[in-house]
Amino acid sequence: MHPTKKIRQTDSVAFLGPKGTFSYECATQVFGDAEYVPCQSIAKVLETVQTNKADYGIVPFENSTFGTVLQTLDFFVNTKHANDSDQPHGFVILDQHYLTVHHNLLGQDTELDRIERVYSHPEALGQCSKWLDKHLPKANRVPVGSTAQAAEKAKQDRTAAGISSIACADIFGLHVIEKDIENLANNTTRFFVIGKKVRQPTKNDGTLVMFTLNHDQPGSLCDALAIMKDHGINLTKIDSRPSGKGLWHYMFFMQFDGHMNDDKVKLAMKSFKPKVLDFMIMGSYKKQLQ
Amino acid sequence: MHPTKKIRQTDSVAFLGPKGTFSYECATQVFGDAEYVPCQSIAKVLETVQTNKADYGIVPFENSTFGTVLQTLDFFVNTKHANDSDQPHGFVILDQHYLTVHHNLLGQDTELDRIERVYSHPEALGQCSKWLDKHLPKANRVPVGSTAQAAEKAKQDRTAAGISSIACADIFGLHVIEKDIENLANNTTRFFVIGKKVRQPTKNDGTLVMFTLNHDQPGSLCDALAIMKDHGINLTKIDSRPSGKGLWHYMFFMQFDGHMNDDKVKLAMKSFKPKVLDFMIMGSYKKQLQ
C-alpha cells in the first residue's frame, strides 16, 4: 500500500502536536481525513499507540541535515527494557514517509534587531544553526516542545521569534520575517508510520532492528555484521545509543534492505539473533524515492 | 604515557570554558599545571589547536547516559570537506580521558517552587531530564554554552537555577540546591585529548576513523566491515552523521582496537581504504579501565 493513500476515513493518528507541526503536515499527507490526536512529545505519540488510544502514530526518525532524532531512538531503547519478546510491545513500524522541511522565522515584528529570543524544537534550532549564527548571533535559542509551540511563544512576546512551518504564520497570525532559513536546501525529514500490524512485503522494503552485544566477547560486532553479508543482505545504516544498562554499553540500530517477512530476511535473522543480545525487530517499511 | 601525567609545565590547553566546566576539570586532571585557554564552543577548541593557538585541546566525545556529543562529531565531519588527505588538518586525537560527571542544581534561593528557569549545557539538560521531569516539570530548560555559564546565569537571576559542577558553587557563590541529579549514577564523559602528533603505540590502544560510502554500490557497508573481521580487528562502535554532501549520505565513525601505527592496523587500513570514500584516521588513544 502506498503510504500517501488513505487507510480508513475513521483512523485515528497520534502526532507531535499541536496542529501546524511538521509531524502534522506529514500525518495529513499520509492519512488525509482522519481523527488527529495531538501529543506533547514523541514518547507520548508512541505511548498513545501502545495503549490503543490511537490506531497509528507518526514519529520523526531522522533529518537529512541534523541526523537521527534522539528522542525516538531513546524511546525505542526503552521499549526493550523488561521485554523478552523480539518485537516491541504494542506497536510496530509499518511504513515511512519523507517530508521536505522548510523552516521560517516568524514573529510579530519584522526587525531582526529587536529579536532577543528564538524559540523552536531543538532539532529545528540545529537545522537552522548557520542562519542563526550569521543573522541573530546574540539571540538566545530556547528549545520548546514543537515548532508550532515556537510560533505560539512568538505570538506572546514581541521580542521573540519562532522557527516554524509556513502554515504557522496563518494559524498564529505572525509575519514571515525570513523564509527557508535551514542550513541545507532539500532539508528532508524521514518519518516512521507506527501501528499495530506490519504491512505486506513489496519487492522494495527496508527493516529496522536493534540489538546489544556481549562486551566480554571481542569481535562480536564484526561477527554479527558478517552474517548479514553471508546472507547477501545490504546494510544501509548503523547507529548506536547508550543502552541504559551500564557504562559504555550500547544499543545498536541496524537498517537493511528487505522486509521482516521475506524468507531471506527471516533466515538471516535466525542466524543473526544468537550472535547478539536484546534483539528486537522494530518493523519494516516500503523504500521510496523522495 | 599515562594521560593523567603532566606533559610539560608550559603546555597550553584549549577547553570549553569558562573555568569550572567539566572540560576544565578533565583538562586539569590530564595536564595539571598548564596555560589554559578557555573557548566558547567545542568547534573553537578544535580551531584553537588547528591554528596553533594552543598545543593541546580537550573535547567531550561521548557520555555514558546521553550518547555521542554531536557538536564534536559534526566538527570532525566538517574537517573532511575539501581535505584530500587521510588525516585531519592541524590536529589528531592522541589520547582519551574518562571523567565521572556529577551534576548539581545551583541557585541563589534553595526553594524549588521559585525556580522558573533552569540553565545548562544541552547535554547536561539531557543527562538530568528525569530529575527535572519529576521535580521541576514546569521550569523552562534553557540551553547555554557551558555548565559554568549556567552557574553565571543563575547568579544573575533569583528565579533561575543552573546545572553545574560542584566547583561552580564556590566559583560563583551559589547554594547547592540538590546534589547528583544525573539520570544514572556513574555518569561518565569520555574526552579526547587533541594535539599535533599521535603518541607511541602501547599494547592496548584504540583508533577512530571516519568514512563515507558509495551509495550506488549495494553491500558496500558490509564489504568494508568484513575487512575488519578478515584482519582480526575488534570493532567497538559505529556511529553515523549526515555527511553534509547530499540527502541521506552519511559519514560513518568507526572505533576499533589497535593503534594507527600498529602494523596489523596499517595493513587492515590499506585494504579498507579502497572500499570506502572520504576516509580519514582521526587518531589513536590508550584504552583504559575507568
Chain segment B106-135, per-residue pLDDT in tens = 999 888 999 999 999 887 888 899 999 999
Residue B264 grid cell: 596489523
A64, A226, A240: residue with CB nearest B247: A64
Residue A228 forms contact with B (CB below 8 Å) = yes
Q: What is the pLDDT of residue B184?
A: 78
- Global ipTM: 0.72
C-alpha to C-alpha distance for A229 and B159, rounded to whole angstroms: 57
* DSSP-derived secondary structure for B161-227: EEEE-THHHHHHT-EEEES---SSTT-EEEEEEEESSPPPP-SSEEEEEEEE--TTSTTHHHHHHHH
C-alpha to C-alpha distance for A276 and A211, rounded to whole angstroms: 6
pLDDT of residue B216 exceeding 80, the answer is no
pLDDT of residue B104 exceeding 90, the answer is yes
Chain B residues 142-181 with CB within 8 Å of chain A? 142-143
Per CATH, which fold does A206-284 belong to?
A: Alpha-Beta Plaits (3.30.70)
Q: What is the pLDDT of residue B9?
A: 55
Residue B141 forms contact with A (CB below 8 Å) = yes
Does domain B104-178 fall into CATH 3.30.565.10? no
* B241 contacts A65? CB cut-off 8 A: no
Q: Are B60 and B72 in contact (CB under 8 A)?
A: yes
Backbone angles phi, psi at B265, to 5 degrees: -70, -40
- Per DSSP, the three-state class of A39 is strand
Chain B: give the shortest CA distance to residue A138, in Å: 12
CATH architecture label of A104-182 = 3-Layer(aba) Sandwich (3.40)
Confidence of residue B7 (pLDDT cuts 50, 70, 90): low
Bond prior to B274 in cis (omega within 30° of 0): no
Chains A and B: how many Cβ contacts under 8 Å? Answer: 107
* A66 contacts B67? CB cut-off 8 A: no
Residue A168 grid cell: 504557522
Residue B108 grid cell: 541563589
* B234 contacts A218? CB cut-off 8 A: yes
CATH architecture label of B12-101+187-195 = 3-Layer(aba) Sandwich (3.40)
* A226 contacts B226? CB cut-off 8 A: yes
pLDDT of residue B1 exceeding 50, the answer is no
Closest-CA residue to A248 (of B87, B100, B169, B153): B100
> What residue segments make up the domains of chain B, in order of their start?
12-101+187-195, 104-178, 205-286
Average pLDDT, chain B: 89
Contacting residues for B198 by C-beta, under 8 A, at least 6 apart: B92, B93, B94, B260, B261, B283, B284
Confidence of residue B289 (pLDDT cuts 50, 70, 90): low
Closest-CA residue to B215 (of A235, A195, A115, A274): A235
B12-101+187-195 and B104-178 in the same fold: yes
Closest-CA residue to A31 (of A48, A53, A54): A54
pLDDT of residue B270 exceeding 90, the answer is yes
Backbone angles phi, psi at A24, to 5 degrees: -65, -45
C-alpha to C-alpha distance for A133 and A111, rounded to whole angstroms: 17
Among 3.40.50.300, 3.30.1370.100, 3.30.70.260, 3.40.980.20, name the CATH number for the domain at B205-286.
Answer: 3.30.70.260
Closest-CA residue to B238 (of B225, B229, B226, B247): B225
Of A28-37, A52-61, B12-21, B63-72, minimum mean pLDDT range: B63-72
Residue B290 forms contact with A (CB below 8 Å) = yes
Most confident range, picked from B216-225, B246-255, B262-271? B262-271
Closest-CA residue to B73 (of B249, B195, B179, B192): B192
C-alpha to C-alpha distance for A39 and A42, rounded to whole angstroms: 7
pLDDT of residue B28 exceeding 50, the answer is yes
Q: Are A13 and A31 in contact (CB under 8 A)?
A: yes
Contacting residues for A21 by C-beta, under 8 A, at least 6 apart: A15, A146, A147, A148, A165
- pLDDT string in tens for chain A (290-residue length): 444 454 555 799 999 988 888 899 899 999 988 999 999 888 899 999 999 999 999 999 998 877 888 888 888 998 887 788 888 889 999 999 999 889 999 999 888 999 999 999 887 888 899 999 999 999 999 888 778 889 999 999 999 999 998 888 988 999 999 999 988 777 789 999 999 999 999 989 999 999 999 877 778 898 899 999 899 999 999 999 888 777 788 999 999 999 999 999 999 999 999 999 999 999 999 997 64
* A184 contacts B64? CB cut-off 8 A: no
Chain B: give the shortest CA distance to residue A250, in Å: 8
* B241 contacts A240? CB cut-off 8 A: no
CA B211, A250, B253 angle in degrees (round to 5)?
A: 10
C-alpha to C-alpha distance for B89 and B35, rounded to whole angstroms: 23
CA-CA-CA-CA torsion for A64, A67, A69, A73, nearest 10 degrees? Answer: 120
pLDDT of residue B4 exceeding 70, the answer is no
Closest-CA residue to B148 (of B127, B176, B124, B120): B120
pLDDT of residue B240 exceeding 80, the answer is yes
Contacting residues for A129 by C-beta, under 8 A, at least 6 apart: A183
* A140 contacts B248? CB cut-off 8 A: no
C-alpha to C-alpha distance for B224 and B271, rounded to whole angstroms: 9
Q: Are B120 and B148 in contact (CB under 8 A)?
A: no
